[in-house]
Amino acid sequence: MKNMGDQKLEAANAFAVKGQIKTCTPYGSGHINHTFLLVCEENGEEHSYILQQMNHEVFKDIPGLMNNVREVTAFLRRQILENHGNPDRETLNLIPTKDGNDYYKDSQGNYWRTYLFISDATCYDLVEKPEDFYQSGKAFGRFQCLLADFPAEKLVETIPDFHNTPARFLAFQKAVETDVMQRACQVQEEIRFISSREKEMGLALRMQQEGALPLRVSHNDTKLNNIMIDDATRQALCIIDLDTIMPGFSIFDYGDSIRFGANTAQEDETDLSKVSLSLPLFEIYTKGYLEGCEGRLTETEIKLLPYGAKMMTLECGMRFLTDYLQGDVYFHTSREGHNLDRCRTQLALVADMEKKWTQLEKIVEKYTTYNP
């Protein structure tokens, strides 16, 4: 064995892996959990796993989180088998501990889990070509399709009020009122922009409470790098990073993908003239997403897809501005005013969405006739 610290070795030995541990090396580029590629050997054959130390500072309820992961992956596995797919490659598969649990708590109080490693597949941080964004949409649409009958209310909120936009607005208002860094006077235009859209923020929650918008299993981190792409076919294979699986709305998962992937500029671009919503990318993602959903979304959900994109962008901008007003205590920054730059980029994207609203609605309508 090599590259094995005491805690990693203790954790790795706790799981029911095949064979003897050979190596355990850092893997991936995640910032929240510590991830390792665990390679074991049995009778000359190698077996590979993903070993993760979960961040219990970010995720306070590890048992609840792992219950979510277990329930969702087990459901996905059954659905994939019914569709004659390969559940070992098309969803994450938890490896139990030797005493049958889903996770292990080590002698230092750290929490660990192990997944079966999916070989010959890659996660990409950036959209290299439009087809990648289409595959991303199709993958998250299929995720909704496969989980359409899962009772979302069974899941716990791993991060309470994560996409509760009205609650985010209250936090923003408090940051403006307290103004601990004396920065509010510099951002009056941004404060007015956000405040003038307050009435729109609670629409999804109101509709859900009235029974007009279904509660879904939501992923809540629908970036391209949370999809494994098959190396041979370049087709979307498996959705990963399920820590933020929670009850939520399909329109917000869709919307966060658009916010992240259809912006023509970087998230912290300082030249706002470069910021716009790419209609071709919006269209190709929408096409893939609705194809992947295979008709499982309601008419109301489909109609609200542009609203989901706008709300996720507005909420993100509001969160950046809140953090700026509070002294940059949440998001990592690398320069003075970094969070303010991020905020302005998001708000510029919201403004461009509003200008193109009729076009967005027409694009969504174009693909609502998809029939599986």
Q: What is the pLDDT of residues 189-221, one digit of tens each?
A: 999 999 999 999 999 999 999 999 999 999 999
| 6 token code pair | 């005491």
The rounded Cα 11 to chain-centroid distance in angstroms is 27
What residues are paired with 35 via a beta bridge?
Answer: 52
| Amino acid, single-letter form, for residue 160 | P
Given a contact cutoff of 8 angstroms between Cβ atoms, the answer to whether 54 and 103 are in contact is yes
> Which has the closest alpha carbon to 345: 367, 364, 318, 309?
318
Q: Residue 20 is inside which H or E element, if any? A: strand 20-26
For residue 18, name the pLDDT band (cuts at 50, 70, 90). Answer: very high
Q: What is the CATH class of 6-117?
A: alpha beta
- Supply the pTM of this predicted model: 0.92
For residue 370, name the pLDDT band (cuts at 50, 70, 90). Answer: low
> DSSP string spanning 138-183?
HHHHHHHHHTTTS-GGGS--SSTTTT-HHHHHHHHHHHHHH-TTS-
Query: Per-domain residue ranges for the chain?
Result: 6-117, 130-366
Lowest mean pLDDT among 1-5, 183-187, 274-278, 361-365: 1-5
CB neighbour list of residue 310: distance below 8 Å, 6 or more residues apart: 200, 255, 350, 353, 354
**Distances in whole angstroms, Cα of residue 69 to Cα of each of 13, 61, 215, 294, 305:** 22, 12, 18, 24, 26
Task: Render pLDDT for 44-64 as a digit per residue (tens, 0 to 9).
Answer: 899 999 999 999 988 999 999
Would the CA dihedral through 180, 185, 187, 188 be positive or negative?
Answer: positive
For residue 247, name the pLDDT band (cuts at 50, 70, 90). Answer: very high
Tell me the mean pLDDT in the region 358-369.
Answer: 93
Per-residue model confidence (pLDDT) at position 368: 87
What residues are paired with 23 via a beta bridge?
Answer: 2, 39
Per-residue model confidence (pLDDT) at position 31: 67
Per-residue model confidence (pLDDT) at position 372: 46
Q: Which residue has the higher pLDDT, 309 or 260?
A: 309
Q: What CATH code would you report for 130-366? A: 3.90.1200.10
Average pLDDT, the chain: 94
For residue 3, name the pLDDT band (cuts at 50, 70, 90). Answer: very low
Tell me the mean pLDDT in the region 293-309.
Answer: 97
Q: Which residue has the tokens 């355990």?
A: 24
Tell me the mean pLDDT in the region 260-278.
Answer: 95
Per-residue model confidence (pLDDT) at position 6: 77
Residue 224 clears pLDDT 90, i.e. is over it: no
Per-residue model confidence (pLDDT) at position 52: 96
45-54 and 34-42 as β-strands: parallel, antiparallel, unpaired?
antiparallel
Per-residue model confidence (pLDDT) at position 125: 78
Residue 354 clears pLDDT 50, i.e. is over it: yes
The rounded Cα 353 to chain-centroid distance in angstroms is 21
Per-residue model confidence (pLDDT) at position 2: 39
For residue 309, name the pLDDT band (cuts at 50, 70, 90). Answer: very high
Task: Render pLDDT for 65-108 as a digit per residue (tens, 0 to 9).
Answer: 999 999 999 999 999 999 999 999 999 999 999 999 999 999 99
Q: Do domains 6-117 and 130-366 have the same CATH topology?
A: no
Which alpha helices (DSSP H) does the chain contain, by range?
6-12, 62-82, 87-90, 130-146, 165-178, 188-195, 198-201, 203-209, 250-261, 279-293, 299-303, 305-326, 338-355, 357-366
What residues are paired with 250 via a beta bridge?
Answer: none
Residue 169 clears pLDDT 90, i.e. is over it: yes
